[in-house]
Amino acid sequence: MPTDRRRPESVYAADLDGDGDMDVLSASWQDDKVAWYENLSVDGSPGEFAAQQTIATNADGATSVYAADLDGDNDLDVISTLGFEGKVVWYENLTVDGSPGLFAAQQTIGTNADGAHSVYAADLDGDGDMDVLSASVYDDKIAWYENLGGPCSPSPCNNGGVCTDLDPGFACDCTDTGYGGSNCDVDVDECAEGIDTCDALVACTNTPGSFTCGSCPSGYSDTNGDGTQCADINECRTNNGDCGDATSWFCTNNVAAAPTCTDIDECAEETDNCHADAACTNTSGSFTCVCNVGYSGVGFTCTDDNECIGEGSGNNCDTNATCTNTAGSFTCDCNAGYSGDGLSCTDDDECIGEGSANNCEAHATCTNTAGSFTCDCNAGYSGDGVTCTDESSSGGDSSGGGCSCGNRSSGDAGTTTTGRLESPVGYLDEPSWDFLIVTRWSLP
């Protein structure tokens, strides 16, 4: 606050600019000033004031200052006493939005207060407006001045309307009163005129000077608690809208209606926990796991079945085939000596056909067996059938006679010769033969 005022006589605190905090008024008689200081206080910095703003510089010997709403316009005007002139005066507050702290020129209330030294305002006659009191030292007077106020005193505006003096007449500002008319005495039906603030989903009920809003409908919450704003309740945010487990059900919020619950296909979404060797089947709100054919288990764990071992094993291989287990299945392969697809195997006859699979010697007889064959050397030969040795090549009769040759049958070519064979070699292997092969012979 300033300290260079010339003999300040009076000080008063009031909200002169209507911003909700208390400003300071002062009256100083040596420089004839009435001034005020705006309160700049904000949270954390209380007690800061702006520089002096002058209301009047012609307040001759200003001795006292006070603030009151003399004209009934809902702001504080300034009253002062002028000791040298014996006057009681006032300054109308012209404050409007954007221009706080403006005051009109000095207006005289009284001129016969000799040595006026103190001033005060109160509704002394109970007519609803502020009258003025003064005390003066040279005439030993305490006096009051009735506020005649013109058209606005008392205010003709009802229900909180603000009166403005006109020349002539007055005007009532009924803004925010809920009433209309020239004197703010006609109830405004905000509901009918559509100027209520009720939510569109809520019923509006008119009341004298106001209105009430009903309750938000089911499925909506009352944001402000007065029916002015209804917000749809998202049931899906609470317990997944009672759809069930959120991993199995998807909840869709519907405005003013129950939510929609949609089954989640865990199999398609691959959120199931089935084993890799199991089949997943979606169900309503869940899923099932079944081990694939060739596997055993509960579906969450599956173990390969060995179809090739154990009684009643699951393979269908031929009895003459070998079963080989594979992952989830098996294979069948016909055993050696058999041909087929493993499910049906036929014995191979190794003894017939060109390129047959037997390894019998040329002088042996091949006999087919189940899945194999046997080799037996022909008569006159010895061995295991795979190798056969001519028995005559191992030595003959010491007397020099191996066999007797008779006459050849009719139709034979050549001349019948009698003699003695030393070493017959063998016979032609034919179904019927008609001559003898002699490797060595001698005449008698």
Question: Is the pLDDT assigned to residue 440 strictly greater than 50?
Answer: no
Long-range contacts of 380-385 (CB under 8 A, 24+ apart): 380/426, 385/360, 385/361
Long-range contacts of 366-369 (CB under 8 A, 24+ apart): none
CB-based contact 309:285 (threshold 8 Å): no
CATH architecture of 190-232: Ribbon (2.10)
Q: Which CATH number fits domain 348-395: 3.30.70.380, 1.20.272.10, 2.10.25.10, 3.20.20.150?
A: 2.10.25.10
Question: Is the pLDDT assigned to residue 315 strictly greater than 90?
Answer: no
DSSP bridge pairs for 25:
12, 36
Q: Which CATH number fits domain 266-304: 3.20.20.70, 2.10.25.10, 3.40.50.920, 1.10.1050.10?
A: 2.10.25.10
Instruction: List, in sequence order, every beta strand (DSSP E) within 97-248.
Output: 107-110, 116-122, 131-136, 141-145, 162-165, 170-173, 179-180, 186-187, 204-207, 210-213, 220-222, 230-232
**Which ranges in 213-270 belong to alpha helices (H)?**
266-269
* Range(s) within the chain of domains with CATH label 2.10.25.10: 190-232, 266-304, 348-395
As a whole number of angstroms, the distance between CA 424 and CA 405 comes to: 10
430-to-393, 426, 427, 434, 435 alpha-carbon distances in Å: 21, 12, 8, 10, 11
55-94 per-position pLDDT tens digit: 999 988 899 999 999 888 888 999 999 989 999 999 988 8
The confidence score (pLDDT) of residue 3 equals: 53
CATH topology for 8-148 is: Methylamine Dehydrogenase; Chain H (2.130.10)
**Pick from 417, 411, 408: which is nearest to 435 by CA?**
408
**At which residue do the structure tokens 């989903």 appear?**
201
Of the ranges 83-92, 157-166, 200-209, which one carries the lowest mean pLDDT score? Answer: 157-166
**Pick from 310, 288, 309, 311: which is nearest to 300 by CA?**
288
In this structure, what are the phi and psi dihedrals at residue 249, rounded to the nearest 5 degrees?
Answer: -130, 140
Of the ranges 121-130, 173-182, 240-249, which one carries the lowest mean pLDDT score? Answer: 240-249
DSSP bridge pairs for 421:
403, 441
